[in-house]
Amino acid sequence: MAAINVTLPDGSVKQVPQGTTPYEIAEQIGPKLAKAAVAAKVDGKVTDLKRPLDRDVALEIVTVDSPEGLEVLRHSTAHLMAQAIRRLYPGTKLAIGPVVGERFYYDIDCPKSLTVEDFPAIEAEMAKIVKENWEIRREEISKADAEALFREMDEPFKLEILEGLQDGEISLYRQGEFVDLCRGPHVPTTGYIKAFKLLSVAGAYWRGDSSRPMLQRIYGTAFPKQSELEAYLQRLEEAARRDHRRLGPALGLFSFHEESPGFAYWHPKGQILYRTLENFSRELQEARGYQEVATPWISRSQLWEQSGHWEHYRENMFRMEYEGESLAVKPMNCPNHCLMYKEQTRSYRDLPIRFAEYGPLSRYELSGTLHGLMRVRGFHQDDAHLYVREDQIEQEIFGVLELFDVVYSTLGLKYSIKLSTRPEKFLGTVETWDRAEQALMRALEKAGRPYEINPGDGAFYGPKLDIYVTDALERVWQCATVQLDYQLPERFDLTYVDADGSHKRPVMIHRAIFGSLERFIGILVEHFAGAFPTWLAPVQARVIPVGINYFEYAYGVAEKLKRMGIRVEVDSRNEKVGYKIRDAQLQKIPYMLVVGEKEAASGTVAVRHRSRGDLGAQDVEAFGRAVADEIARRALD
């Protein structure tokens, strides 16, 4: 048999007989590697460990703890689950079973409507199949054979998937009695799957099409080791503990009532948080040449017809009719800002013009999509529209990026940027698009911000930057986008007079830093687990008198601190100190100030910080100055 050359990642070349499997090579390298191996990367493509090599290749052994290895493991677990479900619920049709992030799912059409209560039985069956340790075999067959097979098995979804495949690219994977149409790769045997758990069940449309049948989607996850699975499950629990829908009401920030689905009720403490963030934004924007405006929240539909919203966005707008007149509540501010721009003849010297607005916006979101503060029907953005000359795009985008950075670094949030470029259907000319995209890239590079490109993902009216925030639990949220817009200036016939006296079209930049304040606060609640930095905390200090004899002193301390700009309250309940400390801790109040005999006599407070613990006695004035400074610096804990 001929020999082939296998190049390993360290550059060394191994000569082996043709038909050698990656697994055998792994064994030669070392038993430890062979044990951790779940797949192989052949010329950069992930493939099965036991698929024979037939030519010279570059080979990398994929171990179970690598990103690719984990994906293989989870994908195989999806098959394992499908096999178990098939055994338990005969007649189940399989659709697709991919890996998404740390989870996998399988969409199935099952005669029984499954719930989490069915999970233990399915998991038990999965464990059984693991124990049976079936070899997972790849088989390549012709399209005709595959069609015959899945027709015989009565698998309509697989047949539909087959329709889109070509002869020569069809593979099956078998383990025991189970067979599935699959590209692979998979772990060598079912015994490789050690730690898994089914997580949830939900509905999902076949092929994501709401006119197609609704399938059951079972989510699960798998890890190389039980301990890693448990760590993951603990992270889910931590996320549940931090859930803003639970913490928000518990901290007195906001509530929801079924009388107004999708609209938050902001309680006094939540409103402080809200206003503090809004004012933070105001302060930064005023310093950067933004002008705050306020525009109508209800307009005649002709405005929305002119802006194009009526055509493209009507279904998401709250609409109404009075005196035969069609009206709508604004879902965005841009058309109103365009009207204001147009009130005057603008000179090239006037640009850029930056209108900022914090007013209420409403969007009709489908009832099933509402989710706490994260998805609402009524919200406010820290919205702004910049009217700029084309030669100002780069500089203005650079300014917006700087603003992003100030806001997110102040809050200790990591973020990443994606640039979405010209889609297939677009407005304007290729040249304009190219120039705009170039300007965005130059601004990003000037700002020193790394970014990824999403080719073809821009809006039809202009390219955009999406900002993704990563929170304390490493979850990623999209908060804001910066979009260049060539269409609205056109639709509203916006112009400016250039140096040569000619009328030119400005470019519009839509941008928001927080995005929706509601959503952003939801993210912050979960990010900080309710323990906001002092400058954001609704109550920054709580004075805890040891007994009624010290109430007067406590109120005096509170008065002094209030005058120093600190949000402070006195716990005047008839309770023990331990009780009041516990309550203040649960309310995540940054500073607890215990006052009694010693403090009253010396004009001090005994300071306890929610996370740093007992800080000892401090002079009231000195404490006040230190906290005022912490607030002014917007310090993180």
Partner RNA sequence: GCCAGUGUAGCUCAAUGGUAGAGCGGCUGCCUUGUAAGCAGUAGGUUGCGGGUUCGAGCCCCGCCGCUGGCUCCA
Catalytic residue among 50, 197, 464, 519: 464
Element (H, E) at 214: strand 214-223
Rule CB under 7 A: is residue 368 a binding residue for RNA?
yes
Candidate list 124, 202, 231, 294; residue touching RNA; CB under 7 A: 202
Rule CB under 7 A: is residue 216 a binding residue for RNA?
yes
Give the amino acid at 277: L
Candidate list 18, 226, 302, 369; residue touching RNA; CB under 7 A: 369
What's the CA gap between 532 and 525, in Å, rounded? 8
Nearest CB to RNA, comparing residues 24 and 583: 583
**In the complex, least distance from residue 348 CB atom to RNA, rounded to whole angstroms:** 26
Rule CB under 7 A: is residue 195 a binding residue for RNA?
no
Nearest CB to RNA, comparing residues 12 and 367: 367
Which stretch, 128-136, 167-175, 253-261, 273-281, contacts RNA (CB under 7 A)? 253-261
Rule CB under 7 A: is residue 597 a binding residue for RNA?
yes
**In the complex, least distance from residue 500 CB atom to RNA, rounded to whole angstroms:** 32
Beta carbons of 173 and 182 less than 8 angstroms apart: yes
What's the CA gap between 400 and 443, in Å, rounded? 10
Q: Coil, strand, or helix at residue 549?
A: helix
Angle between helices 620-632 and 551-563 (to 10 degrees): 40
**In the complex, least distance from residue 493 CB atom to RNA, rounded to whole angstroms:** 16
Rule CB under 7 A: is residue 97 a binding residue for RNA?
no
- Cα 242–243–247 angle (5° rounding)? 75
Check if 309 is active-site.
no
**In the complex, least distance from residue 430 CB atom to RNA, rounded to whole angstroms:** 20
Rule CB under 7 A: is residue 343 a binding residue for RNA?
no
**In the complex, least distance from residue 464 CB atom to RNA, rounded to whole angstroms:** 9
| Range 370-399, binding RNA (CB under 7 A) | 370-372
Beta carbons of 569 and 539 less than 8 angstroms apart: yes
Beta carbons of 228 and 195 less than 8 angstroms apart: yes
Pull the structure tokens for residue 526: 């979960």
Binding mask 299-318 for RNA (x = CB under 7 A): --------xxx-xxx--x--
**In the complex, least distance from residue 485 CB atom to RNA, rounded to whole angstroms:** 9
Binding mask 604-623 for RNA (x = CB under 7 A): --x-x-x---x---------
Check if 464 is active-site.
yes
Residue 217: name the closest of 229, 206, 231 by CA.
206
Candidate list 163, 258, 323, 431; residue touching RNA; CB under 7 A: 258
Candidate list 214, 453, 476, 632; residue touching RNA; CB under 7 A: 214
Nearest CB to RNA, comparing residues 289 and 547: 547
Check if 363 is active-site.
yes
Rg, Å, the chain Cα set? 31
**In the complex, least distance from residue 4 CB atom to RNA, rounded to whole angstroms:** 43
Residue 376: name the closest of 315, 321, 326, 316 by CA.
316
Check if 510 is active-site.
yes
CA diameter of the chain: 97
Burial of 131 (0-12, 13-18, 19+ CB in 10 A): exposed
Strand partners, 464: 420, 483
SS3 letters across 458-522: CECCECEEEEEEECCCCCEEEEEEEEEECHHHHHCCCCEECCCCCEECCEEEEEEEEEEHHHHHH
Check if 110 is active-site.
no
Candidate list 576, 612, 625, 633; residue touching RNA; CB under 7 A: 576
| Range 101-140, binding RNA (CB under 7 A) | 113, 115
Beta carbons of 509 and 400 less than 8 angstroms apart: yes
Check if 334 is active-site.
yes
**In the complex, least distance from residue 37 CB atom to RNA, rounded to whole angstroms:** 31
Pull the structure tokens for residue 542: 């709580």
Other CB atoms within 10 A of residue 242 CB: 18
Beta strand pairing call for 254-255 and 265-266 = antiparallel
Check if 383 is active-site.
yes
Residue with tokens 């994977």: 173
Catalytic residue among 103, 242, 385, 542: 385
Pull the structure tokens for residue 538: 């609704």
Does the CA dihedral 55-56-61-62 come out positive or negative?
Answer: negative
> Helical H runs in 257-386?
268-286, 301-307, 309-312, 334-342
Candidate list 144, 153, 476, 586; residue touching RNA; CB under 7 A: 586
Catalytic residue among 182, 334, 338, 479: 334
Instruction: Give me the numbers of helices (H) and strands (E) for the chain, helices first please.
Output: 20, 35
Q: How many residues bind RNA (CB under 7 A)?
A: 69
Residue 94: name the closest of 48, 11, 159 by CA.
159
Catalytic residue among 383, 466, 485, 571: 383
Rule CB under 7 A: is residue 366 a binding residue for RNA?
yes
Candidate list 24, 27, 123, 365; residue touching RNA; CB under 7 A: 365
Pull the structure tokens for residue 355: 């209108």
Which stretch, 131-139, 273-281, 409-417, 546-554, contacts RNA (CB under 7 A)? 546-554
Give the amino acid at 78: A
Beta carbons of 289 and 350 less than 8 angstroms apart: no
| Range 218-247, binding RNA (CB under 7 A) | 219, 245-246
Binding mask 265-304 for RNA (x = CB under 7 A): ----------------------------------------
**In the complex, least distance from residue 530 CB atom to RNA, rounded to whole angstroms:** 11
Nearest CB to RNA, comparing residues 344 and 574: 574
Give the amino acid at 606: A
Catalytic residues: 334, 363, 381, 383, 385, 464, 510
Residues that bind RNA (CB under 7 A): 113, 115, 200-205, 208-210, 214, 216-217, 219, 245-246, 249, 256, 258, 261-262, 307-309, 311-313, 316, 331-332, 365-372, 459-461, 487, 546-549, 573-579, 581-582, 585-586, 592, 594-599, 606, 608, 610, 614
